[in-house]
Structure 1
Amino acid sequence: MPIVPVRAAIYLRVSLDLTGEGLAVERQREDCIGIAESRGWTVVEVYTDNSISAFSKVKSRPAYDQMVEDYRAGRFNALVTWDLDRLTRQPRQLEDWIDAAESQGLRLVTANGEADLQTDGGRMYARIKAAVARAEMERKGARQSRAQRQRAEKGRPPRGVRATGYTLDGEIILPEAEAVREVFHAFANGSSLRAIAAALSGVEPVIREVGDRTKVQDLPKSVPPLPSRSGRAWNPTSVITMLRNPRYAGWSMLDGEIVRDTTGKPIRGQWDPIVSDSIWLEVQHRLDDPARKSNRAGTERRHLGSGLYLCGTCEARVRAHNDRYRCAGHIMRSRAQIDGMVLEYVRGRLAKSDLADLLVHQDDERLASIADQLQTQRDRIKRARTDYKNELIDGALFAEIKSEAEDQIARLDTERVTLTAGTAASAILLAPSPVDAFDDADLAARRAVIDLLCEVRLFSAPRGRKPLDPKSVRITPK
């Protein structure tokens, strides 16, 4: 019977490469190649996963996955790794390699000589070692989770991946923090997630030709380009992750949730916030708003009054239709004429000296009280749901408790929005020249200022008259 040549693969892995120099995997490589050469095996491939953990079964290990595919394709019939826990910490994955050794003759050895799956003793040792390693990793994970919770309960910065704008110790990185602050303000002003991601990525505005007109994507001018932590372009999901992070408002967090003390009060972090409570709450309200997520109201606005001006006949919000504003069956008005009149009114209002009266006087104490009451009502629903599942209360009582709590949540949410409304637009009102700041602002910020200052209602105009009839536009100060 002809001798089947041994084609060996080598698998190298280290969980964390602190220096990025790959020295640990290089040491593994030298030892594994020495084992293969001592047995007269031909090394056909070396697979390397540097700085990747094998503890999580859902975490991708590209080189490992490729090695599995290559083995199934018959590229090699021997495998050398420095230690079994370098190959896998998952007992199920280990059993797959044991099956391959038993049923298909795969030679699998470790460079430290502790395991040879060709023997029953080696297989027994491998299973015991894998079980011990798995248990130790689980204990380590529990210790780390408890330590993270303890840090969070004391208001200390979490360990691990740092948040954009902060060092791992909670110190502010000024250029990043300024970008984060502008992201919050831009979204609160009405900019879309897509436009913010494009601005952060430093892309040029998208220019589209529609008929005989040119449309340019309106990006928030205040948001500077900022390299992402991953090195890839920003996307709406990564922007949402930033906007949802309570750390930026100075609240301690764990697993994306605000950490609370035994009384249910949010714990303040031992670091300086980048945005105010009111801006963070306003952003959460907009993210949670079902209308924003719908196709009708959640799309990016490209015109000053679309979805903002009201139809004087039915009070519906008008939409842009070619070069006009339209409410089906009621009005069809020239966009340029209407916008010109509104802009003239807003510039006149911004030029007055009493702008300070328009600014929201933030009541942080009341906002904190509202946040506590909202959490109380949410906890009430959660407890009632648990009691219902445990058959301590019936469905009718659960529905009653839930309805009462939701009514309270709606009332508190309305008050919270009233207290925080307009805070994003206040940057323009506080500028040395509010008129110039308004003219230099992006579309979303100008819309926010208009919404803060007035309501605009459009009425039908006499046919055949091209000049704008001022009586057909009603601008009501707020």
Structure 2
Amino acid sequence: MATTKTPAGQRTRAVIYVRISQDRSGAHLGVDRQREDCEDLAERNGWDVVEVYVDNDVSAYSGKPRKDYMRMLADLEDGAATVVIAWHTDRLHRSPTELEKYIDLCDARGVTTHTVQAGHLDLSTPSGRMLARMLGNVARYESEHKGHRVARARMQKAKSGEWGGGIRPFGWGMPTGETRKKVDRKTGEEVEVPVLDMNKAVPEEAAAIETGTDMLLSGGSIRGWVKWLADKGYTTTRANTISHVEARDMLLRPRNAGIAVYRGEEIGTGPWDKLVPEEKFRAVVAVLKDPSRKTTPGAQPKWFGSLIYRCGEPGCTDTVRVTKTGRLQLPSYRCRLQHGGGRRAQLVDDYVEDLIVERLSRPDAADLLLPGPDDIDVAALQMESEQIRRRLTDLAGAFGAGRIDMPQFTEGSDVARAQLDGVNKQLARAATRDPLVPLVGAPDVRKAWKSMGLQERRTVLRELLDVTLHAPRPGRMPDGTYFDYEAIETEWKRRTASQNG
């Protein structure tokens, strides 16, 4: 093997670069073995190793930055060493662009490259550079070929419903009673962990997903479900508090409805347990992705009528919110122009809530319910949805094979996606619940009302009643109190035949 020549008595300064693209165990065993072989090579040649650069679990083909590789280049530019030692050339580069920059640097700084497996690469000669480029092209081919095989395998797994690995999704993973050995990433020691069946639902987590779905479809919010999860003691599968973003993502997973997905596209159904019916899942997606849905991250209203009741002052159309007013600093409803002295918030809310409870306790309350989705054939819609998705897949295949051109592919895809959007909206309508359903026909409407969360009660208010707050009359009212109930104007949005008559 050729060695680097240096003046008599002067030792050759060398650096070692080691890399492994995937470290499944986290134990650094791959890079440690490379380092040992490289150090043996340096010792045989009498070189002084001045630095070892390690990029663990980083692929040269992925395009992600390799921090220690970049640090090595900077040190070589500064003259830190004249020899680079690697286990193989593919540990250094799998990108032709990277290789050319490396060749330029080595040529300018007189740096030679030695590898344990491929020997000496003299990048100062045309033959050495040719060999390096040939080895780089081979490495590039191997990376691309491996990537293609991995992609095919993952798609096959997705189509067959096999679990692709990663963090256990909330809702699935029942213990089978068996265990397996796993290397702890922190300690490097083998530990026994339970084997989980990723197709089997975890009952209590499945029930939580179903509850969140029903809350959204009944007018509730993600924020309300997050609070419910926290109150019930639910955490992520990593034992962390469930955030608003995580909760939203949980409800938007196609897996909840048994739908298999690959690279963002639905490709069929999986063999795992369904947590919710498909029509409910489609409805939740329609609700959460509705552009008109308000998702401001600020504080949620803490009062029943805040930003729903309207100001009744002449010429003012603003909604009202609660501020503390007067000598006693009592919470009162005011608009942004500060109309509304004396609109005591708690008294107004109690009055409006009593109106709603009383109205929904009457025998004809069922007449207020919206027409049900009985005319929607869910099974037929699901079949139509599957046919449209197959058509999209066939269009993509035809375009890839050159049987149709881009305009034909775009036009066909746009039509199919528009049809699919219409089907999904119909499925969503079939699952969305009228927010009045939990109240109408309840044995004790007031008890049912009190059991609802604030956001759900506010949804009922929006659906059922318009409330306008006028300026209250001063002084004592005829009933002996100082609160003017006649200043609260109400109009029912949903009316029965008897009301219309």
What is the TM-score normalised by the length of structure 1? 0.69
Do the aligned partners of 1:330 and 1:460 also contact (CA within 8 Å) in 2? no
Q: Which residue of structure 2 aligns with residue 473 of structure 1?
A: 490
Alpha-carbon separation, structure 2, partners of 1:54 and 1:62: 11
Do the aligned partners of 2:381 and 2:423 also contact (CA within 8 Å) in 1? yes
- Point out the structure with the larger strand share: 2
Q: Which residue of structure 2 aligns with residue 170 of structure 1?
A: 199
Amino acid paired to 1:320? R
Measured after TM superposition, the shift of residue 239 of structure 1 is 4.9
Alpha-carbon separation, structure 2, partners of 1:10 and 1:364: 72
Q: Structure 1 431/460 Cα, relative in aligned 2: closer, same or farther at 3 Å?
A: closer
Q: Which residue of structure 1 aligns with residue 288 of structure 2?
A: 287
Match of 1:85 among 90, 103, 115: 90
Amino acid paired to 1:336? Q
Alpha-carbon separation, structure 2, partners of 1:147 and 1:464: 77
Aligned residues with identical type, % of pairs: 29
Q: Which residue of structure 1 aligns with residue 115 of structure 2?
A: 110
Do the aligned partners of 1:102 and 1:118 also contact (CA within 8 Å) in 2? yes
Q: Which residue of structure 1 aligns with residue 235 of structure 2?
A: 226
Q: Which residue of structure 1 aligns with residue 62 of structure 2?
A: 56
Do the aligned partners of 1:7 and 1:76 also contact (CA within 8 Å) in 2? yes
Structure 1 portions without partners, runs of 5+: 200-217, 260-266
Alpha-carbon separation, structure 1, partners of 2:79 and 2:211: 55
Q: Structure 1 468/436 Cα, relative in aligned 2: closer, same or farther at 3 Å?
A: same
Measured after TM superposition, the shift of residue 250 of structure 1 is 1.0
Match of 1:30 among 29, 33, 36: 36
Q: Which residue of structure 2 aligns with residue 336 of structure 1?
A: 346
Do the aligned partners of 1:310 and 1:318 also contact (CA within 8 Å) in 2? yes
Match of 1:137 among 131, 134, 143: 143
What is the TM-score normalised by the length of structure 2? 0.66
Q: Which residue of structure 1 aligns with residue 305 of structure 2?
A: 305
Is 1:257 aligned to residue 274 of structure 2? no
Cα distance per residue 1:425-453 (max 9 Å; x no partner): 9789999998667646654344345556x
Is 1:274 aligned to residue 291 of structure 2? no
Structure 2 portions without partners, runs of 5+: 1-5, 174-196, 324-330, 476-481, 496-501
Alpha-carbon separation, structure 2, partners of 1:271 and 1:439: 37
Q: Alignment length, in residue pairs?
A: 437
Q: Which residue of structure 1 aligns with residue 17 of structure 2?
A: 11
Secondary structure of 2:473 counterpart: coil
- When structure 1 is superposed on structure 2, of 88-97 and 247-256 the one drifting more is 88-97
- When structure 1 is superposed on structure 2, of 456-465 and 220-229 the one drifting more is 220-229
Q: CA RMSD in A?
A: 5.2
Alpha-carbon separation, structure 2, partners of 1:254 and 1:293: 30
Secondary structure of 1:292 counterpart: coil
Alpha-carbon separation, structure 2, partners of 1:177 and 1:359: 29
Is 1:157 aligned to residue 162 of structure 2? yes
Match of 1:460 among 455, 470, 477: 470
Q: Which residue of structure 2 aligns with residue 263 of structure 1?
A: none
Measured after TM superposition, the shift of residue 251 of structure 1 is 0.9
Secondary structure of 2:259 counterpart: coil
Do the aligned partners of 2:310 and 2:469 also contact (CA within 8 Å) in 1? no
Q: How does 1:68-467 map to 2 (within 5 A)?
A: 68-72=73-77, 75-118=80-123, 120=125, 121-154=127-160, 156-161=161-166, 164-165=169-170, 166-167=172-173, 169-174=198-203, 177=206, 180-181=209-210, 184=213, 195=223, 199=226, 221=230, 224-227=233-236, 238-259=246-267, 267-292=268-293, 301-303=300-302, 304-309=304-309, 318-322=319-323, 323-325=331-333, 332=340, 333-345=343-355, 366-367=377-378, 369-370=380-381, 415-422=426-433, 439=450, 442-448=453-459, 450=461, 454-464=464-474, 466-467=482-483
Q: Which residue of structure 2 aligns with residue 207 of structure 1?
A: none
Amino acid paired to 1:318? T
Q: Structure 1 93/391 Cα, relative in aligned 2: closer, same or farther at 3 Å?
A: closer
Q: Structure 1 268/75 Cα, relative in aligned 2: closer, same or farther at 3 Å?
A: same
Cα distance per residue 1:186-233 (max 9 Å; x no partner): 65566766x589x5xxxxxxxxxxxxxxxxxx786557452466x988
